Amino acid sequence: MDKDEVKLDRNNGKTILRRFLHIGPLLTIFIIKSITIMTLYLNSMWFPAHSSIYAFLNQATFITLSALTSFNFVMTAIIGPSYLPLGWRPKNKNDENQLQFCNLCKGFKAPRAHHCRKCERCVMKMDHHCPYVANCVGHGNQSHFIWFLTFAIAGCTHAAVILICSLYAGLYRDYYIYHQEYKKATVKLSTWSLILTIFNIGLSIGVVIAVGMLLFFQIRAVFRNRTGIEDWILDKAIYRRRAIVRAAREAGDMEYDVKPFVYPYDMGWKKNAAQVLNFTCLPVGNGIEWPVVEGCDQYTLTREQIAQKAEKRARTKQYRIAKKVTGSWFPLLSYGFKTACSPPLTDESRIALEIGDLVNVTRWRKHWLFGEKVKEEKNAIERSKGWFPRKSAVELYDENDDEDFDENEENSKNKKLK
């Protein structure tokens, strides 16, 4: 598909103002402004810009880092990840059987596109939904997002140095005056400025640690040309093939083997990085067609996803809700200490369920289950899925399963008699 044939939807119907009226962006703006204002205030006493050329460069560098952090934060939020057009279909109708269909967007999912339940749209090359920009990170804004993380770490590291040095100078001000070192006794801290200094030192160090970890995973994803979602798909592809081989060998075919899955988008770290990291921050390509390695095609990954979904449906088990579920993340009072203190380590939603509801379960944990509520209306589009306490439900067994079990048990007895 040619680039001009794809009309990118960047804002998903939201104005720029509405994009920032969420707790995540407001918290991010508060952290940036708090650290910036407090750092400039203390720096004006500890190392004022007019005192020397080095002091001027020090302050100019910090202001630049703060401005670049704010700029890339805003651009990440307002540019967006590039949403797949509603009702999208491939140019060649024969390709439709190699793609997944999105019932919510009423169109096919392009290669590397995934539906975000928070944005309520299919996102091109979706990596994750970031609550701090109230938007997804994907094909359109990944470059701005990485630069935002980079400048935030650099700016907060610089701020932490200035704040800690200023705090030290302020705490020892009386000592410097007593020893007549008046040039060092320039930082004067009130009670509130002392509290705010310590608070912003904590913020700065916290940002460096937390955002540093996120930047590490983003850079790794860029060099591998593999999003977090695609990491998960690849892990399942490897596990799926191992399970097939193991089952065949347990059945007696010791030489059975399957061709390993080849991830199609890893073109080498230099070419991978060139698709995202550039000074213009503009996305490379149209977000639908991608360079692939030899032996693969545009639908190699989507065919694997379809196969994984088919296996997922095959292992699905149905449960009936026996005790009301509120959808709480920590249901301490209703389901006890063990359930509340061992939640799934994921940001996936929890669902509220009533007694008698049916749920198709696809994932199991010791105290939690993940599944999709069975809708009463057959044509219902909205899907309600998420985690719920295991104690709330009972598994439903098919009569055919019992017949199969009895038949297998009878066969095993006959073998022993023989």
Residue 330 lies in a domain: yes
* Alpha carbons 245 and 156: distance in angstroms, whole number: 50
Domain boundary residue among 212, 228, 244? 228
Tokens of 95: 């390709």
Q: Which of 161-170, 193-202, 263-272, 374-383 is predicted with the least confidence, judged by mean pLDDT?
A: 374-383
Instruction: Using only the alpha carbons of the chain, give its radius of gyration.
Output: 28
Which whole-number Å values give the CA distances from 44 to 56, 144, 185, in the listed order?
A: 11, 31, 13
Residue 241 lies in a domain: no
Residue 303 lies in a domain: no
Residue that the structure tokens 């269909």 belong to: 101
Q: Which residue of the set 130, 136, 156, 281 is catalytic?
A: 130
Across residues 64-76, what is the average pLDDT? Answer: 97
Nearest to 147 by CA among 224, 65, 59: 65
* Alpha carbons 275 and 84: distance in angstroms, whole number: 19
Please give the share of the chain, as a percent, with pLDDT higher than 90. 67
Give kind and range of the element (H or E) at residue 216: helix 191-224
If you ran DSSP here, which 8-state letter would residue 282 be given? P
Quote the pLDDT of residue 288.
93
At 178, is the pLDDT very low, low, confident or very high (cuts 50, 70, 90)?
confident
The count of other CB atoms within 10 Å of the CB of residue 124 is: 28
Q: Which of 35-39, 63-67, 380-384 is predicted with the least confidence, judged by mean pLDDT?
A: 380-384
Query: Do 192 and 333 belong to one domain?
Result: no
Instruction: Give me the CATH number covering residue 325.
Output: 2.30.30.40
Nearest to 197 by CA among 189, 207, 205: 189
Query: Do 212 and 344 belong to one domain?
Result: no
Say how many domains are in the chain: 2
* Whether the Cβ atoms of residue 10 and residue 82 lie closer than 8 Å to each other: yes
Query: Do 216 and 321 belong to one domain?
Result: no
Residue 156 lies in a domain: yes
Give kind and range of the element (H or E) at residue 79: helix 53-79
- Average pLDDT value over all residues in the chain: 88
Query: Do 216 and 335 belong to one domain?
Result: no
Residue 114 lies in a domain: yes
Tokens of 56: 């001027």
Beta bridge partners of 253: none
Across residues 401-417, what is the average pLDDT? Answer: 48
Query: Do 211 and 333 belong to one domain?
Result: no
Domain boundary residue among 207, 228, 249? 228
> What is the per-residue DSSP string for 174-204?
HHHHHTT-TTTTT----HHHHHHHHHHHHHH
Beta bridge partners of 350: 387
pLDDT at residue 2 greater than cutoff 60: no
Please give the share of the chain, as a percent, with pLDDT higher than 70. 90
The residue type found at 268 is G
Quote the pLDDT of residue 384.
84
Per residue in 330-341, pLDDT tens?
Answer: 888 888 888 888
Query: Do 217 and 340 belong to one domain?
Result: no
The residue type found at 63 is I
Residue that the structure tokens 């990085």 belong to: 273
Question: Is residue 240 packed enough to be buried (19+ CB in 10 Å), middle (13-18) or exposed (0-12)?
Answer: middle
- Residues sharing a CB contact under 8 Å with residue 230, sequence separation 6 or more, in sequence order: 112, 263, 265, 301
Query: Do 22 and 130 belong to one domain?
Result: yes
* Alpha carbons 67 and 76: distance in angstroms, whole number: 14
Per residue in 129-147, pLDDT tens?
Answer: 999 999 999 999 999 999 9
Measured CA angle at 135 (ends 265, 283), to 5 deg: 40
Query: Do 206 and 345 belong to one domain?
Result: no
Question: Model's pTM, two decimal places?
Answer: 0.83
130 counts as catalytic = yes
- 319-344: b (≥16 Cβ within 10 Å) or e: bbbeeebbebeebeeebeeebbeebb
Quote the pLDDT of residue 9.
58
pLDDT at residue 8 greater than cutoff 70: no
Quote the pLDDT of residue 117.
86
Residue 247 lies in a domain: no
> What is the per-residue DSSP string for 225-270?
T--HHHHHHHHHHHHHHHHHHHHHHHTT-TT---PPP--TT---HH
Residue that the structure tokens 């007549």 belong to: 180
The residue type found at 222 is V
- Structural domain including 337 reads 316-400
Count of H helices and E strands in the chain?
11, 11
Residue 28 lies in a domain: yes
Query: Do 207 and 333 belong to one domain?
Result: no
Per residue in 369-401, pLDDT tens?
Answer: 999 999 876 655 667 889 999 999 999 986 555
pLDDT at residue 189 greater than cutoff 50: yes
Q: Tell me how far apart the terminal alpha carbons of the chain are, to the nearest angstrom.
A: 65
Nearest to 237 by CA among 253, 258, 267: 258
Residue 49 lies in a domain: yes
Domain boundary residue among 197, 228, 259? 228
